[in-house]
Structure 1
Amino acid sequence: MHQSLDKKMKKKILLILVLGFAFGMIVSAQKHKVSQEQEMINQYFDLQYKQGDSAGAEKVRAKILKKFPRGKFARRQEAEGLARLQGEEFFAAADKFRKDFPVADFYKAPDDQGFVYVNFYNGYIRALWSQKKYDKLKEVLPECEFGMVSDLYQHSVMWLVQKAPTDPREYAEMSKVMLDEMIRKAPVWVDMYQTGQKPYRSQEQQLWYYLAVETEILAKSGQYQEALSYMDRIPADERFNQYAQGNQAYYESLKALGRNDNAAKALEGSASTGLMTSDLFKALRGHYDELSSKPKPTFDEYFASLKSDKARENLTREVMQGMMEEDYPAFEMESIRGGKVKSADFKKDEIVVLDFWATWCAPCIAAMEGMQMAVNKYQTDQRVKFYFVCTQDARDDARVGRVFQRKHLDSQKMEVLYDHAAPGKDEPDAVYRSIIKGTSGIPQKAVLKNGKVRYIAEGYGGSPSGLMDEISAVIELLKAE
């Protein structure tokens, strides 16, 4: 009995050893194959780029492709060759690449050439979108990892929403397909570049912003229930902390469906984060006026009380980072209303807000809504003045007028000045450069008082009420001095 067991055990041990040896041989052979290809690749690059021997490099290239037709070198060569193709020839070659080098194989066994797939799919799906090959795009999107779909959503859908306003009904169906794909992929991070470093914001956190954008698209398409379903995917404590226009779309969807109590909560939630459009701000004021029992004596106090501690802390930190006290040279600029505005005419303790913008600058124009809110807030305050300095741009009153008309801005309250070129220069940015140092970016906000630059901030964060709060905080600090 014991001898029989010993024989069986010996056979099992022998089988395990044989299988282990065979597996080791396979792994060793694979490693040798990889190292052999890499050695030849190194030889190719040495000949091509270090020695300048193109003929020798071409011979090595041919050998690599023959010996390793599905290797990493062949993959990169085929992908890079797509850049030379156009039209249907490009799409046919792209499909061939997908078949020859399935990305699923990379996901199973990643190597150091994930960038090849990132570049390929980013270019391919953008081309499918631009040519409106939506059926093919739906077929390809499941192959893409989260970052690829995110890139497409940013450069296609969000461009149409934020920079080239288009009827959302034209693309709402396809944008939902993209977003649903991101929802499925958000929990799984694929390290395409093999860095081992995850992005600063997780894919789930990035998804929240896209959900708010999609809410805007669906609400504008009249799909109110679906709009709510996307916004409700965002965690409750982060829901109103993404996108001001998304907050407005959520509020409007609730109102359209008769959910007025929830709509009122959405207003207050948006105010708590400081992400409100001017329309939401007006709706909040209307809501306050209708309250039979006022939570605060005035609307301004009510609005301030809604802001969360986190939003207050963020605002204070951002404002303090921009505070300064530096001299600026005297200037004068022509006004669109005629005449000139001179810094020498600014009064003692007068606070002057300069908004440097241009008619070609999309973020500058987007920020105008928030600046209009700030102007409205201080329109009766004689100590505060606002000027909108058109810089790095040729004077064109008609074009400025079209911008103001399109954005529903009040030209009677928002006076436009024109920057001018410095002596011997062509670019009309003399005043801009005399105040803003170390950058040429716009939009820029500069706040002046008593011959000093007291505050500077570049860019636009996307929230009209947030910008109003920022400018208001600076003004109140300077008034309190």
Structure 2
Amino acid sequence: MKKQTIFLVLLFVQAVLYAQPRFDSTVFKPTKPTTTALVQVVYDAKDKDLEFSDDIQAALYLFEDYAWRQISVPLQKNAAGLWIATVPVKATTAFIAAKFYQGTLDHPDLLDNNQDQGYAVSLSDAKGKAVPGAYLGEAAFQVPTIAGGGIFSYYTNQPKVLPANYLKSLAEHEYALSGKQYLSYFQPFMSLQKLALGDAFPAYAKKLIVDGLKQKDVSDQVLNQLYSFSSSRLQDKELTQLIEKRVNNDFPSGATARFIAYSNTLGSSPDKAAVIASYEDFLRRFPVQQWRQHPNGQGFIYYTVYRGLGTAYFESKQFDKFAKLYDEVDFRTGNELMRWNIMRAYMFKMVGKDSLYQVSEAILPKLIARRGDNSYKEDFDHRAQADSNVVKNLDDRLFTHISLLNDLKKYVEARKYFLLLSEDGKYNNAELNEINLRVLEGLGDDKQLLPLLEMTAKYNAMTPRMFDKLRAIYVKEHAGDESGYQIYLAGLKSNEEKAAMKAYVDHHWVNHPMPDFRLETADGLFITPEDWKDKIVVVDFWATWCRPCIMAFPGMQLLVDKYARDSHVAVYMLGTMQTGDYRSKSVNYVRGEGFRFNLLHDSVNPKTNEQDLVFKQLVPLFGDSSIPRKIIVKDGRVRYCSGGYSGSPSKLMDELSLAIETLKNEK
């Protein structure tokens, strides 16, 4: 009997402990704060991390109207050494949490949140009754996923799981307190109940929703929450249809009806005709012009619908309908439509160039006209970032159209669009600079050649042919004397460009052992580390399937030509991670394209049978397995390492040349 009594007592104590919150409320005064009287935080820093701080602030998290609001307030130290601040409470403030810090909240020097247990308190009204949301706030503070929002930042580590019976008690108290108002805080309340009820939750949630639908005045906003919860979280088809019927009866043109109609479109169907019909029907029921009169957070719907419809039109060759969409879409949507359809079709030769030109020419002026519509504002924190993104994207779309015009020898039109590029867009892309050179040559506009070439040199975005052209003009203007050309060329580059290049190279110095190797050449011979003795050796890891690798070839050819007569420098193109007859693939491609490279083939790894033995041994240095990857080897060690390709042959040559010359000058 005695043992049984002890067991029951322990069980009772455990239940009581489980029913207690883990946070400390003693820092709040009065002990039982109300929304109608002064509420203060009174913080004693003695024996805590902030004890010797002379500047303490409190981050306050206020649960109001069933959502979190976060503010920071400075604390003042009183004569007793206590730090005090007044909490700005409102009639709807139901729960308050606080943490104390020195420095900035994002990166505090010192922090006290009661070791992740928290400092917090619930509030009452003037009659001592808990404010609606108090119990929900208590739960949401200790389980941040319940209501989301800024409360996640309160904790240093993920809070421990709370007992289900404690959460159930809070849910019951909140429901008793707020009654039928639960529809106004539906999502967090459901999150709490799911944690509390476990397997019994779906039946509970369905009954609650059905009861809610019996109310007469249910707003469109609440119906939207009910629909989303029923369709996504409960995945209850019958309940979802019941809500959908109520929506269509009460708010047939509202936001929820719009979302339901969008959800029922057939964007993922392989049947293009069905996709088109579903999107066209949506736009007839919910015209974008109607939405723009009262915009809400559903802009993504029109972005997705127009993108899907436009792509379906384009892929089914309904180009007139595709172009007609540009009478309705904003810049953000039109930009994506052109990127995905026009640029992709041009790159992969999916549509004949004459047809593609007709479509591109029809839509591009409309896209340009909308560049100031601020349609990217939701994607960026600052207007300047959004504007910069518009400029970059418009430059990219102009690039595609200018390339198409050049291919069709429509040089007058190409030149017109070139002048619409931004300053960076005009000169910062070596491939586009090469196209503009061809356009000027096609127009016979020799006067513009030198200004173009000098600007591309300033931006360090030149191709081998552009170097040849600039040299030829210089020699002609200097009566055949080439002696000052290199000084002239160096003077064209801006100091900013030179400083940026030096900073880039300085960032990529390494000192890593070069693995032992025996690599086959294009002629079937083999080289070993002994062949690289007393040399500075550039190695470019590449593959025939790697487009950026191939794009970098002109820059590597510039480097090869620059050091062709330097016996202390060698440049090798090392093919790696290829399949099949990789030897023939590499040699035939390089020689077929007219490049003059020293080719090497990576060895086959005997353990994996993959052609990557040397490359994979260097992956710990690289940090990943991406190519192209350039290394420079000196005295058996990798001294320089960089990856990727900027798009500029001249910039690549300058980068590796600077690294080579720096290594040459080492003592």
> In the alignment, does 2:569 pair up with 1:384?
yes
How far does residue 338 in structure 1 lie from its aligned partner after superposition? 0.7
Secondary structure (helix, strand or coil) at the match of 1:82 reads coil
1:121 counterpart (300, 306, 316): 306
**Stretch moving more, 85-94 or 419-428:** 419-428
> In the alignment, does 2:446 pair up with 1:263?
no
Check whether the contact 2:326–2:367 (CA below 8 A) recurs between aligned residues: no
> In the alignment, does 2:461 pair up with 1:275?
yes
Partners of 1:172 and 1:401 lie apart in 2 by 36
Segments of 5+ residues of structure 1 without an aligned counterpart are 1-32
Check whether the contact 2:430–2:649 (CA below 8 A) recurs between aligned residues: yes
Partners of 1:286 and 1:267 lie apart in 2 by 11
Partners of 1:302 and 1:186 lie apart in 2 by 39
2:266 counterpart (82, 90, 98): 82
Structure 1 runs, 4 residues or longer, greater than 6 Å off: none
Partners of 2:424 and 2:582 lie apart in 1 by 42
> In the alignment, does 2:455 pair up with 1:250?
no
Secondary structure (helix, strand or coil) at the match of 1:155 reads helix
**Stretch moving more, 118-127 or 286-295:** 286-295
Check whether the contact 1:129–1:156 (CA below 8 A) recurs between aligned residues: yes
2:491 counterpart (305, 320, 323): 305
1:471 counterpart (656, 659, 667): 656
Aligned residue pairs total: 445
Hey, what does 1:428 align to over in structure 2? Answer: 611
Query: How does 1:420-459 map onto structure 2 within 5 Å?
Result: 420-436=603-619, 437-459=622-644
1:227 counterpart (405, 414, 422): 414
Q: Deviations over 1:184-225 (max 9, x none)?
A: 111221147476544462413432343344333222211111
Query: How does 1:280-429 map onto structure 2 within 5 Å?
Result: 280-292=466-478, 297-348=483-534, 350-394=535-579, 395-404=581-590, 408-410=593-595, 413-429=596-612
Aligned residue identity for 1:219: N
**Structure index of larger Rg:** 2
Partners of 1:140 and 1:34 lie apart in 2 by 39
Q: Deviations over 1:114-157 (max 9, x none)?
A: 22222222222223223322111110123222222222333334
**Stretch moving more, 56-65 or 465-474:** 56-65
Higher percent of residues as strand = 2
Aligned residue identity for 1:146: F
Partners of 2:309 and 2:588 lie apart in 1 by 37
Check whether the contact 1:213–1:243 (CA below 8 A) recurs between aligned residues: no
How far does residue 312 in structure 1 lie from its aligned partner after superposition? 1.7
Aligned residue identity for 1:263: L
Partners of 2:545 and 2:470 lie apart in 1 by 32
Check whether the contact 2:474–2:482 (CA below 8 A) recurs between aligned residues: no
With over 3 angstroms needed to count, the CA separation of the structure-2 counterparts of 1:354 and 1:69, relative to structure 1, is farther
Check whether the contact 2:266–2:274 (CA below 8 A) recurs between aligned residues: no
Partners of 1:115 and 1:52 lie apart in 2 by 23
Query: How does 1:85-96 map onto structure 2 within 5 Å?
Result: 85=269, 86-96=271-281
Partners of 2:217 and 2:641 lie apart in 1 by 55
Higher percent of residues as helix = 1
Aligned residue identity for 2:275: F
Hey, what does 1:141 align to over in structure 2? Answer: 326
Check whether the contact 1:163–1:362 (CA below 8 A) recurs between aligned residues: no
With over 3 angstroms needed to count, the CA separation of the structure-2 counterparts of 1:101 and 1:391, relative to structure 1, is farther
Q: Percent identity?
A: 27
Query: How does 1:65-214 map onto structure 2 within 5 Å?
Result: 65-80=248-263, 81-85=265-269, 86-160=271-345, 168-191=353-376, 193=378, 197-198=382-383, 199=385, 201-214=388-401
TM-score of the superposed pair, with normalisation by structure 1: 0.83
Secondary structure (helix, strand or coil) at the match of 2:273 reads helix
How far does residue 347 in structure 1 lie from its aligned partner after superposition? 0.9
Partners of 1:401 and 1:330 lie apart in 2 by 24
How far does residue 53 in structure 1 lie from its aligned partner after superposition? 4.0
With over 3 angstroms needed to count, the CA separation of the structure-2 counterparts of 1:402 and 1:337, relative to structure 1, is closer
Aligned residue identity for 2:443: L
Check whether the contact 2:402–2:417 (CA below 8 A) recurs between aligned residues: yes
Check whether the contact 2:272–2:316 (CA below 8 A) recurs between aligned residues: no
- The structure showing larger relative contact order (alpha-carbon pairs under 8 Å, at least 6 residues apart) is 1
With over 3 angstroms needed to count, the CA separation of the structure-2 counterparts of 1:454 and 1:409, relative to structure 1, is farther
Hey, what does 1:10 align to over in structure 2? Answer: none
How far does residue 165 in structure 1 lie from its aligned partner after superposition? 9.8
Secondary structure (helix, strand or coil) at the match of 1:456 reads strand
How far does residue 162 in structure 1 lie from its aligned partner after superposition? 5.1
Aligned residue identity for 2:243: V
With over 3 angstroms needed to count, the CA separation of the structure-2 counterparts of 1:249 and 1:94, relative to structure 1, is same
Partners of 1:396 and 1:196 lie apart in 2 by 48
Q: Deviations over 1:390-418 (max 9, x none)?
A: 22211433433453356x232xx312322
Q: Deviations over 1:302-346 (max 9, x none)?
A: 222211223222222222222222223222333332132323432
Partners of 1:372 and 1:46 lie apart in 2 by 60
**Stretch moving more, 92-101 or 391-400:** 391-400
TM-score of the superposed pair, with normalisation by structure 2: 0.61
Partners of 2:346 and 2:273 lie apart in 1 by 29
Check whether the contact 2:406–2:439 (CA below 8 A) recurs between aligned residues: yes
With over 3 angstroms needed to count, the CA separation of the structure-2 counterparts of 1:227 and 1:391, relative to structure 1, is same
Secondary structure (helix, strand or coil) at the match of 1:330 reads coil
Partners of 1:473 and 1:218 lie apart in 2 by 37
Check whether the contact 1:37–1:68 (CA below 8 A) recurs between aligned residues: yes
Aligned residue identity for 2:259: R
How far does residue 54 in structure 1 lie from its aligned partner after superposition? 4.2
With over 3 angstroms needed to count, the CA separation of the structure-2 counterparts of 1:53 and 1:258, relative to structure 1, is closer
How far does residue 284 in structure 1 lie from its aligned partner after superposition? 1.3
1:217 counterpart (386, 404, 409): 404
With over 3 angstroms needed to count, the CA separation of the structure-2 counterparts of 1:298 and 1:396, relative to structure 1, is same
